[in-house]
């Protein structure tokens, strides 16, 4: 199987990754370095993670940013790996909409 590197948008299960052109402004809080957990499963305990010596997970307000100095792979126990190009990636969650409650909420993995 040939490895394909994603360079603009990726999704792995309930996690989305969108490449940004510029680093967002705002007060930065470094969440983790080297081993960056993007999301943890609420039911299974599995996690979407990047293990890369140059990776940094940063919180800016409500936004979560993954900064990669070089290509890195997002792994998860139940999903195929996703390889991201170097750059600045915004981490998001897939949303579902409940029409009866008229509200959106993150999908739980």
pLDDT tens digits, 70-97: 999 999 988 899 999 999 999 998 766 6
* Residue 101 predicted with pLDDT over 80: no
Is 98 contained in some domain?
no
Is 1 contained in some domain?
no
How far from 36 is each of 59, 65, 102, 106, CA to CA, in Å?
A: 12, 11, 33, 20
Is 73 contained in some domain?
yes
Whole-model pTM: value is 0.83
Is 83 contained in some domain?
yes
Is 65 contained in some domain?
yes
Is 5 contained in some domain?
no
Is 6 contained in some domain?
no
Q: Which domain range does residue 84 map to?
A: 13-92
Is 84 contained in some domain?
yes
């Amino acid at each position: 199987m040939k490895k394909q590197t994603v360079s603009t948008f990726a999704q792995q299960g309930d996690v989305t990754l969108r490449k940004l052109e510029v680093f967002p402004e705002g007060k930065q809080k470094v969440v983790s370095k080297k081993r960056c957990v993007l999301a943890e499963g609420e039911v299974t305990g599995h996690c979407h993670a990047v293990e890369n010596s140059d990776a940094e997970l940063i919180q800016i307000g409500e936004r979560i940013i993954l900064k990669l100095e070089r290509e890195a792979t997002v792994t998860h126990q139940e999903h195929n790996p996703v390889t991201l190009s170097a750059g600045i990636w915004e981490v998001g969650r897939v949303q579902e909409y409940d029409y009866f409650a008229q509200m959106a909420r993150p999908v739980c993995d």
